[in-house]
Structure 1
């Protein structure tokens, strides 16, 4: 037995010869670091699995050109990333992995939780601007500065995010002065009381509509849903649920989604309160009910996933029998009914419908570690949803993928989103109607 000396790193670097290089996407956070470190290189993302030489590469792997073997080898060795040199590029469909211009946005009510996101980005050497919700209305064109705006879990309610703190009495500055020399190092303001404001919300909505990506998590995901930026999605309300900082099992739903490239099935997800989503092809039908029901019904009329009729009493006229629809799972969009198609104003166009990338596991497999009571109400529910909004996307996380430096396995969900920000529709299959 020998004592380990020095820094321990996984083996990395270039092996083989050739001017084209393949890098397996295994969810390693160092892949995002490598991309930003080698900004001038041409990184392409394979939209399907492929083979090269004697190696197989999963969907989401990188094909790199425009860089010397020596330069790539040095960077890959430092980061512990294995790279395979190829004589020619494999015949697989690809899209570019551009180094997105990122802003991490905070409110002034609480900055502790989002600080862990900044720490994750700093540790992985991914550059970003740090802005506040007050800055949104000050920019005439957010898309000119940013490709992705990240809004981590924030303080306060949705109303407080918009309105801020009460404006009576004196301003409340947060900035460096002779009396407060340690304030304002990362961001400062003359008054922390104003919130995003309705003009700021309009600017954020326009940013996404013009092609930007907004990443939200936990209460900011609820903010996006409630403020009309996530058509067909609602937050699953479960009064009986008890979850306190637990690890819960997840399952891949759409492994063609760039958000889950390299992510393993059955990954444990950190969940603070057991939040989850419902999805629907209807703009205001986010509950996901197959029959358009609501959370609460009169006694004897079944659950929200049953036909809204008196249970156990068939109608006298078969014309009033509910439509027999195919079974849909909790994470799926419910099939549209004939009545809905007859009056389709509420039906979301197929290319704008929510796309579920990740869901909670089955009830029997759900708990990995911690406290869970009432897990049946969140089992199989969506937890990562990509929602198109005109030219852009709003990505909703029901969980917190970047928490206290402990959830390293789920960082890739965020990094994948920013590296594929302008190609999140890759691999998407549209409904026929």
Structure 2
């Protein structure tokens, strides 16, 4: 053998050997074995942690190993441990990347070998170059790939009741920075590992307090006791993994910052829900804009992980039969949307650190029992498993180590794929249609057009603006860019296949033009010269204009989202301004203002200018005032938003929307309903969507578990926010419901959204609404057509006769035929069967009159019911009521059969709620 080759071989072999003999922490080993309930749940990969002389293991730091019964750590403890590791080890660093809504830090932990840690900025830069093939040629990319290292991003603690990943990641980090085992040193030298230890710190601390306060003492998993704290984040509960299109919450902003700083090659989100370890690929249909390379990577990495666990004798690992792969708004889809690879695990968690007997007999995925042997689950679990927190840690850590190993050994291919996906996206933008999207300057709500542009920019989609020429002010998205596929995904209609075998995992449509009420045009030809377009480097903003002459100020109303906030601002700015709304059309020189438009009596020039600028509203000056009989004074209401204690998800989105729109409100709960006198405190009570039925609303969290205080104490400091109660069990009861009825009868407006409409029908607050069952209807979240039934209703001011809304699966209602005037809006454009006009002969009416009637009723072409998404058996919903305005005493119940405040997404729908608030005392 050539001497130099031999020396190289020898040095290469030595590189995989420990530089010094390491002592295994046998006590830690013993505890892992003790807390693991079955040898089959104990992989070799999680044993043999080092007893390092200087760097403390979790056991030395906390006094117990990770996964010990009854041990769960809050964020300060977790972050404290990582800071200790960073201080003691050169292989780990920690830095804050974001702050939550409640002020807690979100940290990023970086792990790598000596060379990697010394050159982190260099490796960041290399991946940044690979992310954009427009600035990196194939030849340059080849050289960069030889020099770059794949980056693997592990995201922990997104869902607060899924408590294992923040624990496991600490043990994993210790293993990665201390072990000199050849497999670990290979990972450390050939891979950079990013760890977001607790991506939702607010919920983590609330849940850890909940565990120690309540569920740690429970002995049965299925005893009905609430396993979750009522709140996670300040606003968002489980939907914190549905914020990837809105990018509204701190958790998402943190994930996005990490991703765009690093462009990680693979991103793995660690969840817990199904037995024993699910590795994501999904049943499909897969999102149509995902590059086939990514889909291939999903499959090969999942099967590699399963093979690794199988080699260690671990049962219960599977892929395919859970989730679909369609909705692009999950946290990990920042990777899939931007040419990296986003994956997730679902391990089997117990919502704490208790050991429970778990029964899998009723668990089914993709129609198959969780215990059946399938092609995608070669080694199923038994019907019952005795499951511990340590078992969960073992499965999660063994899977992650397998996945890191795959990435380290296949880094070159993963980096080539990452670059190639960008190449493919740019090529499609050049060779396939459309070539560009145009957001024209003229919009009915220019503020929302600017918002759409900024949402695209938050996704790193490039947007240009026309700076001269006849189309000056237009926004243009040119599609020869590396995120072309995402732009197409967000701005075109979704076509979910009706024949899909399994129901979708989440919403199936998200066309932003529809959701925002913005006109977006796609074009196969670009009619702008390059010198007319300027790349936006800052967020877009629309500054309202003031046109016309005279001393009177008007606003042409077209359901702009910023009008109601502007009205509240005017109220607070000056008591001399009188806000009037036009009851009929009014002509100002060349402008015709429709009913619902506004006249501001007493508005000064400076106030008008500030209103136009701050709220992006165009005002019109006129010299005439409308006649007194054509105006109606606006009295802005005192608003309450009601929340249950058993489901706070959508109530949180409603509060978030109100605060973003600067609409003042008071949060109330069951105790406020019990106290009564609601009409003396509020004009409007909004009841957001809350899962459950009328009985749930009345009785709330089962009182058999009470009292359950959710209050801040020295022992449980994270509780009591964003609301507190000495006892969250029990609902408002029949007395509270009666007080709510009295509120409406005394002239209040009660607004119910989607499922919460169950509450007013099933409790008898109104008996005019009845439940309607649409046979065979399957209506996952899609954009559909609605038609105005009552054009005079102020709730529909600013909307055309037909327009799109977003609707998911939810309850439907109906009223008797003689009460159909209560239907303000209907689904689809065709009437209900019992409203179809009779076209046959009529005794006692001359034939000529019948013929004339038939001619007058000739059909006109209507838009399709489904604009984006999919609905099965849509004929059963067409003609049914979308919004009902039901009089009750001196007040009204305004019942929505969809959610116009869904996840801060369907901004075009929300002005129907704002209209109701503006005109709350003129709806009856």
Deviation for aligned residue 1:233: 1.9
Q: 2:828 aligns with which of 348, 361, 374?
A: 361
CA distance in 2, matches of 1:390, 1:108: 29
| Equivalence for 2:907 | 408
CA distance in 1, matches of 2:598, 2:671: 38
- Answering whether residue 659 of structure 2 is matched by residue 122 of structure 1, we say yes
Distance 1:170 1:152, change over 3 A: closer
| Equivalence for 1:162 | 698
| Equivalence for 1:215 | 751
CA contact (8 A) 1:13 1:83 kept: yes
What SS is found at the alignment partner of 2:554? strand
CA contact (8 A) 1:47 1:256 kept: no
Deviation for aligned residue 1:406: 1.0
Q: 2:630 aligns with which of 74, 82, 93?
A: 93
CA distance in 2, matches of 1:122, 1:384: 24
| Equivalence for 2:731 | 195
What SS is found at the alignment partner of 1:32? helix
| Equivalence for 2:644 | 107
Deviation for aligned residue 1:169: 4.2
List per-residue Cα deviations over 1:385-409 (Å, max 9, x = no partner). 1011111010000000001111100
- Answering whether residue 771 of structure 2 is matched by residue 235 of structure 1, we say yes
CA distance in 1, matches of 2:604, 2:804: 38
CA contact (8 A) 2:755 2:811 kept: no
CA distance in 1, matches of 2:769, 2:697: 20
| Equivalence for 1:42 | 578
Identify the range of structure 1 (158-167 vs 120-129) with the bigger mean alpha-carbon deviation. 158-167
List per-residue Cα deviations over 1:67-97 (Å, max 9, x = no partner). 2121121122121100111222123612122
| Equivalence for 2:348 | none
CA contact (8 A) 1:149 1:215 kept: yes
CA distance in 1, matches of 2:657, 2:700: 27
Deviation for aligned residue 1:144: 1.3
CA contact (8 A) 2:775 2:876 kept: no
CA contact (8 A) 1:46 1:93 kept: yes
- Answering whether residue 531 of structure 2 is matched by residue 28 of structure 1, we say no
TM-score between the two structures when normalised by the length of structure 2: 0.37
Which structure features the higher share of strand residues?
A: 1
Distance 1:71 1:7, change over 3 A: farther
Deviation for aligned residue 1:238: 1.9
List per-residue Cα deviations over 1:105-151 (Å, max 9, x = no partner). 01100101121111111111000000112311113x21111100000
Consecutive unaligned residues in structure 2, runs of 5 or more? 1-532, 831-862
CA distance in 1, matches of 2:597, 2:749: 22
Q: How many residues align?
A: 355
CA contact (8 A) 1:216 1:397 kept: yes
Which structure features the higher share of helix residues?
A: 2
CA distance in 1, matches of 2:801, 2:660: 26
- Answering whether residue 580 of structure 2 is matched by residue 81 of structure 1, we say no
Within-5 A mapping of 1:328-347 = 333-334=817-818
Q: 1:14 aligns with which of 525, 532, 546?
A: 546
Identify the range of structure 1 (165-174 vs 32-41) with the bigger mean alpha-carbon deviation. 165-174
CA distance in 1, matches of 2:705, 2:596: 54
Deviation for aligned residue 1:240: 1.1
TM-score between the two structures when normalised by the length of structure 1: 0.78
CA distance in 1, matches of 2:556, 2:670: 37
| Equivalence for 2:597 | 61
Within-5 A mapping of 1:291-302 = none
Deviation for aligned residue 1:8: 2.0
Q: 1:277 aligns with which of 796, 801, 813?
A: 813
CA contact (8 A) 2:747 2:889 kept: yes
| Equivalence for 2:920 | 421
List per-residue Cα deviations over 1:163-209 (Å, max 9, x = no partner). 12222244212122233333322211011112011111111000100
CA contact (8 A) 2:580 2:632 kept: yes
CA contact (8 A) 1:107 1:155 kept: no
CA distance in 2, matches of 1:7, 1:24: 26
CA distance in 2, matches of 1:374, 1:26: 33
| Equivalence for 2:301 | none
CA distance in 2, matches of 1:21, 1:62: 8
What SS is found at the alignment partner of 1:357? strand
Deviation for aligned residue 1:255: 1.4
CA distance in 1, matches of 2:537, 2:902: 30
| Equivalence for 1:302 | none
| Equivalence for 2:742 | 206
Deviation for aligned residue 1:16: 3.3
| Equivalence for 1:395 | 894
CA contact (8 A) 2:754 2:898 kept: yes
| Equivalence for 1:327 | none
CA distance in 2, matches of 1:354, 1:181: 52
CA contact (8 A) 1:162 1:198 kept: yes
Deviation for aligned residue 1:234: 1.4
What SS is found at the alignment partner of 1:386? strand
List per-residue Cα deviations over 1:256-311 (Å, max 9, x = no partner). 1000000233322221215432122xxxxxxxxxxxxxxxxxxxxxxxxxxxxxxx
Identify the range of structure 1 (179-188 vs 377-386) with the bigger mean alpha-carbon deviation. 179-188
CA contact (8 A) 1:13 1:82 kept: yes
CA contact (8 A) 2:650 2:689 kept: yes
Q: 1:381 aligns with which of 872, 880, 883?
A: 880
Distance 1:115 1:401, change over 3 A: same
Distance 1:169 1:379, change over 3 A: closer
Q: 2:760 aligns with which of 198, 220, 224?
A: 224
CA distance in 2, matches of 1:276, 1:25: 30
Distance 1:405 1:129, change over 3 A: same
Deviation for aligned residue 1:2: 2.1
Identify the range of structure 1 (29-38 vs 83-92) with the bigger mean alpha-carbon deviation. 83-92
Deviation for aligned residue 1:6: 3.9
List per-residue Cα deviations over 1:8-43 (Å, max 9, x = no partner). 222314333433211011111100111011003211
CA distance in 1, matches of 2:827, 2:691: 25
